[in-house]
């Protein structure tokens, strides 16, 4: 690992908790160069909902590449892109009654967010955007301005403007009515809150610590936006593509955002890919007003279509994910019950779960114990106090059980150090 | 094409000048769904320096994918990443005496720029960054603030701060000494120019209209930065990876930037990939202070190593590119001579060339004629007045000749409409 | 009045509600050019706490001017300035145990605020400042950024940055614990609230609608600032100089702000004058780092000393103001009781009172009726829904009674139009 | 002076060079508390064009005050204000063919600048404002953003946005054509210079070092603004009211700015007073959109009318000032000739002059020697390298001679230390 220490910037992060050099991967497992196998409850931070090197998607990808079909095309028209547009519309949008137009803003989730923010500002003629406590929307300057983490914000090196953070669902432990502050400030021309162009929200905050907004809260937010003529942007980069059950994480709440950001598991194979969806009438872009070199990466169109066709033409995927989520929830609750001094609670939805440790120092230790037992998990939350589970949606029940067992053992292992 | 009109956002751009649906691609040619073949002097805006679907790189990519090697790994350690770090150091950095550390800032060029700007601000504790007239550094909010194009800047929807534009080489047609203004203002504590963290520069401005900075000007800039203790960032996203001859476009000038941005042709195969290089002592990042989902896309590491090994272990590539550049220059000069009323000049370096039309309306018409003759080229420059040639570096002399012939015919075709 | 319509900018405001040309003034009365006399419950928006043309102060002013003592001196040393410094220290600071240094930041309240904000940012090295809903701190760009009124904010013509508005005392009608949000966000490194340099607060919001912070809330705020190492700035421009009883409006709460802004009634005679007080250790200014042409207007030093010596050497002033305040409160409560459909409530402290009308349209009508009966009052609050009483502190009980009678008549007069 | 050291903030500046406590003042002289008399070539930094305690203005002021005429009136109508509006129009605007409306933006020059910037942004819908190297427009956040001095800018504690500095006349010593850069950038949609709302300029930069713009340059600037539909703001706070000869400093160039800022000597007596003049069609303010407590300080209206009537109804003032300016210029040139190693040059116009010292360390020493000989002068310029002469316009020729003699002696006195 000397190569990394010598040549890679100190900014590298995940590798510090997982001192192994990974080499191959299949389904819910990765293997390091020494042949050691790990169960992966990290899944590329939610990028690998269909597992590593999914065989069906791999077949499509290899076929596409071997035929010398076009790989890189910016925003030229290609057959692969047309196919993606048509299939995404048929499989995802139409069945849900969503009349969105699709923008290819660049290959990363933050590109989708940057495009969404630009569009909301252009459409409304306003600058300010409301985000929420512990939000994570990305590291580029526009996305960072609506992200909560102070260490990452400080990294900007310039003050971050045009954004204001409001309390997320249950942020104040139920001691204040939902949206009381935001609604009051928007109604009050003297509040000092400049009328925002948009509100940007995650339905479940992954990086923020698996904070789950209730459907009721999300409906309240959508209603507030409608009443105040503010655009609602759902950043579904991590929680979309089935992570919470339905294809979009906001379906359960029955809301229709004005703009939706998708990326991560969209390609289905870990290929960089992002789109921004917008209500048809919001599409006021000038040609070329936002662009980017990798917004037409055709292999990602191909595997994305594969993922849609293989997993989203029926309702099986959603049902399976919800069932597996219940399996996880049960096991985590048992762990919490068994270690009341070490575990503060269990939070989650679909297959995104968090085990909240009572002491932030415990969470990385649990993950460390899990790693030594062959399980990959990261921490999240402002203090890194949450052990975060994002297994591939295709993880089998047996694999889930095995992973949950390791978690139980890991919590047990760090338990003695806990002052109850 | 109804699919695109119905489902894709109005922001789409290139497709408007090229009404064809592309399907396959090989070397310097792309083929549309009707089987029509086009010679490609656009090359993914400089992303395909080694041609489309380069067979050697394809072989490496297919081998990697078929072996179920890990595809997506964020900033975990992988064997593919280690190989890239080692080979990039051995083939590129060491022979040039460059002691850089390497950051993986996300898959796109603007990620590299955003990371560079953050780092420069963090390291110096200053906010302002000097960029140049007609610069293009990307569409995310930080990169956009140092980009010149007013339509794209306006798309931000918020005022863009912390940047100041200075005249690029020859911007004022030699009527003022180089750096007179910038140097004077930096020396003058009353100038109103806040001392900048960094200067960011392209050695050749591609989007800006193929404006070529001389080696002397670049040395002057490096000297100015050194004297004023300002970091020098070279954005080599489009002009690096051999586009101007040497691997880095700044080699010719003999300067050593503090930070270098690379992307586009870095993967060699059109795969999204970017890195930020920084002088070792600048690596003051906290772990995770900048991150991103697709910063570890292993197939790109693999093809990037392929490109380095296949093209950059000797000096052949550089010599070939320079020779082909002379071939292009000669032909364009002939066209200019033949059409003095229509063509204002020829600019370029390596295999990046521009034919400056006397009337901005002519350039898209030349490109349109070229398209109808089977040649892809885009316009650039603030008014779109420059016909821009970025053929793959692997384009054969015969192909170059064929393309240059089409350009001559295309200029001829639009000529009658020109008022001389 | 044609002169005004023809030559004065449309920005003029108060004159629109009071179509009279004023000529002379004495105590609590002003007289227009037609000899009509008005009782003044506006008092220069709190600038004339000792009445118009206070005879004792006038004598000092005339003596000073007639002796050819220096009038304008920037920040040169003068005898008048020394006298002010000494007397302000002896009469105001020392008896209250306050070890402040005194800055002369320019002649207006917003100068005091601008200097306070600069100093807080310089001292802490942070940019953000927390202000409160319905705050008013002034119209210059720095002060405007911490002011709530949306019309005035919009007048900036640029987005206002580096400030965030939090709910003022009782803003959410008791439905959320005090400071719950601010405290939680400051404790949470992921909240998205950048750690602020300072909190700026008015103890009673005059322009905001006579919103009165309780002593308990102010103590809670001071405690929060201390715990989080954030500077506390009290903007006492309107509520200082005895308006609420004590010389400083924060005395009642027993807090010691880090920085205090004073202006308006400081000179005692309506002469432009402002100071910024700062805890001794905060005085990290470089010589000349903040300056201004009129920061040394000696006649204001002279009348300010007069006001201190005439009114603040004993406790009589404070007692009188509190007694008169009770007189006002009683009368307003009677009005409110008599017109439950028209009046929503009565708010105030010392001699700053507001009659909150149920319908914002009523307040200007009440003031209009009062004007026609010879009483000057302005409206305040975000919708202009509050009839605001700021009589000179020297107004006699009889004058107060007369004014309150007019108010009762005026409310009665507009009553019929109210839909109960 | 212990009082000042103990109680006044370290921000105090001028007093540090003049260790005396001033007490009385008359005409061009001030006297300290020990009875020492000083000739004043500082004149309140240009606030006392008619001398200290001008007897005629004093008489008007005393009459006004003694009659209990209204002193403080915000923007209510008063007889004194009407008189000022009428007389300013008759004496200043009409004879010069200027159809301006008049705003009372607050008592200080920076209030006039803040209002001008707001109005320009509101009218044009643009944010950016072009200012010039070494400009000084004030210390409030909006004005500071267009001010050059880096120490003062740094004092803001936040990055200053929405402004860009361009080279002032002769900034680059004639090595580049006037406005070449600005004009080229405005014509170029890719230049990175956002189209500005306005250009703000001083015709002579006082704080910047007595840099004099030629009439030709000013006309060029006005022409550039007209061509690009950018508003031209002349900040005549220091150079207006006759300092350069005519009432407005821009008259000589024959230009008509869109907006003009006046303050300092406007009241004629050192009373805080400022106005903003705007072309009639620019008056798009909402009532109350900009306000301020001391925008109606009636004594200043009265003395301002006095100054207009006493000095500006004929052409005598202008002629006298120009004649006295020649007297000063001759004497300074002699000093420069006599001390070629110590003095770099002489710059000025009207009665604003600068003696540019070859070594910045010399200028404060010259001022120190002058002080010890009974003459007050300040330094200016980015390095404080310019000895600045701003005597009252009413200074007699004999007084001027005496002061110039002292300057000659002072330069002589510091001369030996100069390395030629």
Q: Could you write out the three-class secondary structure of C2-42?
A: HHHHHHECCCCCHHHHCCCEEEEEEECEEEECCCCEEEECC
Angstrom distances, CA of residue B132 to CA of A6, A245, B192, B202:
34, 49, 18, 9
Q: Which residue has the higher pLDDT, A419 or D65?
A: D65
Range of weakest confidence among B300-304, C173-177, C198-202:
C173-177
Query: CA A51 to CA A43: how far, in whole Å?
Result: 7
CB pairs under 8 A between B and D: 126
User: Residue C174's pLDDT is what?
Assistant: 84
User: Residue A415's pLDDT is what?
Assistant: 83
Q: Which of C170, C183, C192 to mutate to test the interface with A (most CBs of A within 10 A)?
A: C192
Residues 6 or more apart whose Cβ sits within 8 Å of residue D345: D336, D356
Express as a percent the part of chain A with pLDDT over 90: 97
Same domain for D195 and D105, yes or no, is yes
Query: CA A169 to CA A182: how far, in whole Å?
Result: 12
Q: Which two tokens stand for residue B180?
A: 């007179």
Instruction: Place A420 in a pLDDT band, splitting at 50, 70 and 90.
Output: very low
Search chain B and give the residue with CA nearest D136: B190
Search chain C and give the residue with CA nearest B157: C159
Mean per-residue pLDDT of chain A = 97
Same domain for D212 and D358, yes or no, is no
The alpha helices in B215-280, defined as continuous H runs, are 215-228
Contact C205, C236 (CB under 8 A): no
Of D294, D311, D328, the residue at which a domain comes to its end is D311
Q: Does residue B137 have a pLDDT over 90?
A: yes
Mean pLDDT for C123-145 is 98
Query: CA D368 to CA B77: how far, in whole Å?
Result: 68
Torsion of CA D146, D152, D153, D157, to 10 degrees: -140
What is the domain-level CATH number for residue B78? Answer: 3.40.640.10
Instruction: Place C419 in a pLDDT band, splitting at 50, 70 and 90.
Output: low
SS (H, E, C) B122-144: HHHCCCCEEEECCCCCCCCHHHH
Same domain for A135 and A63, yes or no, is yes
Residues 6 or more apart whose Cβ sits within 8 Å of residue B35: none
Query: CA A129 to CA A131: how far, in whole Å?
Result: 6
Of C279, C296, C311, the residue at which a domain comes to its end is C311
Residue A214's region, left for phi above 0, alpha for psi from -120 to 50, else beta, is beta
User: Does D135 sit within 8 Å of B383, measured CB to CB?
Assistant: no
Contact C6, C17 (CB under 8 A): no
Query: CA C240 to CA C250: how far, in whole Å?
Result: 8
Angstrom distances, CA of residue D219 to CA of D93, D128, D251:
20, 22, 11
Angstrom distances, CA of residue A285 to CA of A111, B145, B338:
15, 19, 40
- How many C-beta atoms surround the C-beta of residue B174 within 10 A? 9
Whether residue B401 lies within 8 A of chain A, CB to CB, comes out as: no
Same domain for D407 and D322, yes or no, is yes
Same domain for C65 and C134, yes or no, is yes
Whether residue A194 lies within 8 A of chain B, CB to CB, comes out as: no
What are the strands of the beta sheet with D198-201, ordered from one edge? D100-103, D275-279, D259-262, D231-235, D198-201, D129-132, D163-166
Q: What letter would DSSP give residue B194?
A: P
Mean per-residue pLDDT of chain B = 97
* Residue C403, domain extent: 2-54+316-419
Chain C touching partners, 3 or more CB pairs below 8 A: A, B, D
User: Residue B1's pLDDT is what?
Assistant: 85
Whether residue A288 lies within 8 A of chain D, CB to CB, comes out as: no
Same domain for D241 and D129, yes or no, is yes
Between β-strands D21-26 and D29-32, what pairing exists: parallel, antiparallel or unpaired?
Answer: antiparallel
Q: Which two tokens stand for residue D337?
A: 């000739």
Same domain for B240 and B388, yes or no, is no
Whether residue B35 lies within 8 A of chain C, CB to CB, comes out as: no
Residues from chain C that touch D111, judged by Cβ atoms under 8 A, are 108, 110, 139-140
Instruction: Place A174 in a pLDDT band, splitting at 50, 70 and 90.
Output: confident
Same domain for A241 and A92, yes or no, is yes
Three-state secondary-structure class, residue B52: strand
Contact B296, B74 (CB under 8 A): yes
Q: Does residue C416 have a pLDDT over 70?
A: no
Mean pLDDT for B160-175 is 93
Contact D324, D395 (CB under 8 A): yes
Search chain C and give the residue with CA nearest D5: C101
CB pairs under 8 A between C and D: 369
Contact C25, C375 (CB under 8 A): no
Tokens 């297919």 correspond to what residue? B62
Whether residue C158 lies within 8 A of chain B, CB to CB, comes out as: yes
- The alpha carbon of residue C154 is apart from the nearest alpha carbon of chain B, in Å, by 14
The values of phi and psi at residue C47, to 5°, are -90, -20
Query: CA A16 to CA C344: how far, in whole Å?
Result: 62
Nearest CB among D47, D75, D271 relative to C12 is that of D75
Tokens 């569009």 correspond to what residue? A119
- How many C-beta atoms surround the C-beta of residue C259 within 10 A? 26
Whether residue D159 lies within 8 A of chain A, CB to CB, comes out as: yes
Q: How far apart are the first and last CA of chain B?
A: 39
Residues 6 or more apart whose Cβ sits within 8 Å of residue A207: A134, A136, A149, A238, A380
- The alpha carbon of residue B334 is apart from the nearest alpha carbon of chain A, in Å, by 31
Query: CA D115 to CA C97: how far, in whole Å?
Result: 40
Mean pLDDT for B354-380 is 97
Query: CA C2 to CA C376: how far, in whole Å?
Result: 22
Query: CA B56 to CA D319: how far, in whole Å?
Result: 86
Search chain C and give the residue with CA nearest A383: C189
What is the domain-level CATH number for residue D379? Answer: 3.90.1150.10
Query: CA C263 to CA C235: how far, in whole Å?
Result: 9
Whether residue D272 lies within 8 A of chain C, CB to CB, comes out as: yes
Angle between helices D55-66 and C55-66 (to 10 degrees): 170
Contact D101, D280 (CB under 8 A): yes
Whether residue B325 lies within 8 A of chain A, CB to CB, comes out as: no
Helix (H), strand (E) at residue A31: strand A29-32
Mean per-residue pLDDT of chain D = 97
Helix (H), strand (E) at residue D316: helix D316-338
Among A225, A222, A204, smallest CA distance to A213 is for: A204
Whether residue D181 lies within 8 A of chain B, CB to CB, comes out as: yes
Tokens 């006037």 correspond to what residue? D178
Query: CA D28 to CA B274: how far, in whole Å?
Result: 69
Mean pLDDT for D224-242 is 98
Same domain for D101 and D150, yes or no, is yes
Query: CA B101 to CA B85: how far, in whole Å?
Result: 10
Query: CA A41 to CA A44: how far, in whole Å?
Result: 9
Per-residue model confidence as pLDDT tens digits over B220-276: 999 999 999 999 999 999 999 999 999 999 999 999 999 999 999 999 999 999 999
Chain B touching partners, 3 or more CB pairs below 8 A: A, C, D
User: Residue B420's pLDDT is what?
Assistant: 46
Rg of chain D over Cα atoms, rounded to whole angstroms, equals: 21
User: Does A293 sit within 8 Å of B263, measured CB to CB?
Assistant: yes
Query: CA C183 to CA C176: how far, in whole Å?
Result: 13
- The alpha carbon of residue C125 is apart from the nearest alpha carbon of chain B, in Å, by 11
Residues 6 or more apart whose Cβ sits within 8 Å of residue B26: A68, B51, B52, B53
Express as a percent the part of chain C with pLDDT over 70: 99
Of C260, C286, C311, the residue at which a domain comes to its end is C311
Residues 6 or more apart whose Cβ sits within 8 Å of residue B282: B101, B119, B123, B231, B258, B259
- The domain tally of chain C equals 2
Q: Does residue D420 have a pLDDT over 50?
A: no
Three-state secondary-structure class, residue B275: strand
Three-state secondary-structure class, residue B400: helix
Q: Does residue A418 have a pLDDT over 60?
A: no
Q: Which two tokens stand for residue D360?
A: 């910045």
Q: Which residue has the higher pLDDT, D415 or C140?
A: C140
Per-residue model confidence as pLDDT tens digits over C211-236: 999 999 999 999 999 999 999 999 99
Residues from chain C that touch B158, judged by Cβ atoms under 8 A, are 159
Mean pLDDT for D281-302 is 97
Whether residue B158 lies within 8 A of chain C, CB to CB, comes out as: yes
Among D17, B271, D228, D219, smallest CA distance to A72 is for: B271
Same domain for C88 and C195, yes or no, is yes
Helix (H), strand (E) at residue A360: none
Query: CA A327 to CA A349: how far, in whole Å?
Result: 12
Nearest CB among B82, B197, B287 relative to A4 is that of B82
Q: How far apart are the first and last CA of chain D?
A: 38
Contact A64, A80 (CB under 8 A): yes
User: Residue D173's pLDDT is what?
Assistant: 86
The alpha helices in C229-361, defined as continuous H runs, are 298-311, 316-338
Helix (H), strand (E) at residue C218: helix C215-228
Per-residue model confidence as pLDDT tens digits over A111-130: 999 999 999 999 999 999 99
Same domain for A137 and A219, yes or no, is yes
Query: CA B32 to CA A79: how far, in whole Å?
Result: 9
Cα D325 to chain centroid, rounded: 16
Same domain for D201 and D171, yes or no, is yes
Search chain D and give the residue with CA nearest A125: D125
Rg of chain B over Cα atoms, rounded to whole angstroms, equals: 21
CB pairs under 8 A between B and C: 3
Search chain A and give the residue with CA nearest B129: A158
Helix (H), strand (E) at residue A405: helix A397-415
Contact D347, D356 (CB under 8 A): yes
Search chain A and give the residue with CA nearest B93: A7
Q: Does residue D170 have a pLDDT over 70?
A: yes
Q: Which two tokens stand for residue A14?
A: 């995940």
Among B296, B143, B291, B73, smallest CA distance to A152 is for: B291
Q: Give me the count of residues in chain C.
A: 420
């Amino acid at each position: 690992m000397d190569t990394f220490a010598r040549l890679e910037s100190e900014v590298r992060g995940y590798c510090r908790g997982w001192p192994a050099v990974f080499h191959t991967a299949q389904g819910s497992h990765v293997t390091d160069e020494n042949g050691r196998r790990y169960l992966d409850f990290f899944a590329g931070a939610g990028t690998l909902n269909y597992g590593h090197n999914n065989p069906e998607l791999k077949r499509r990808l290899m076929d596409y590449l071997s035929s010398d079909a076009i790989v890189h095309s910016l925003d030229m028209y290609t057959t692969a892109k047309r196919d993606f547009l048509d299939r995404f519309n048929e499989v995802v949008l139409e069945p849900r009654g969503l009349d969105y137009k699709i923008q290819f803003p660049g290959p990363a989730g933050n590109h989708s967010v940057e495009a969404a923010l630009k569009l909301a500002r252009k459409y409304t003629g306003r600058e300010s955007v409301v985000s929420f406590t512990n939000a994570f929307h990305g590291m580029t300057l526009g996305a960072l301005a609506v992200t909560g983490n102070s260490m990452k914000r400080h990294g900007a090196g310039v003050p971050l403007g045009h954004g204001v953070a409001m309390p997320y669902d249950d942020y104040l432990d139920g001691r204040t009515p939902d949206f009381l502050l935001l609604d009051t400030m928007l109604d009050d021309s003297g509040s000092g809150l400049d009328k925002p162009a948009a509100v940007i929200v995650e339905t479940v905050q992954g990086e923020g610590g698996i904070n789950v907004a209730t459907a009721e809260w999300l409906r309240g937010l959508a209603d507030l936006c409608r009443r105040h003529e503010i655009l609602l942007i759902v950043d579904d980069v991590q929680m979309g593509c089935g992570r919470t059950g339905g294809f979009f994480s906001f379906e359960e709440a029955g809301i229709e955002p004005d703009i939706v950001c998708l990326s991560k598991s969209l390609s289905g194979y870990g290929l960089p890919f992002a789109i921004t969806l917008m209500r048809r009438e919001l599409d006021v872009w000038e040609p070329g007003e936002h662009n980017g070199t990798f917004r037409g990466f055709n292999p990602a169109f191909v595997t994305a279509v594969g993922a849609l066709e293989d997993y989203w033409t029926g309702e099986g995927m959603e049902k399976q994910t919800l069932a597996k989520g219940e399996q996880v929830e049960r096991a985590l609750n048992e762990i919490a019950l068994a270690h009341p001094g070490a575990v503060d609670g269990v939070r989650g939805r679909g297959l995104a779960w968090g085990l909240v440790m009572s002491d932030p120092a415990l969470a990385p230790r649990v993950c460390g114990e899990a790693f030594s037992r062959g399980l990959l998990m990261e921490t999240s939350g402002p203090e890194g106090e949450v052990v975060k589970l994002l297994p591939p949606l295709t993880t089998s029940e047996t694999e889930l059980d095995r992973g949950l067992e390791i978690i139980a053992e890991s919590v047990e292992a760090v338990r003695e150090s806990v002052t109850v």
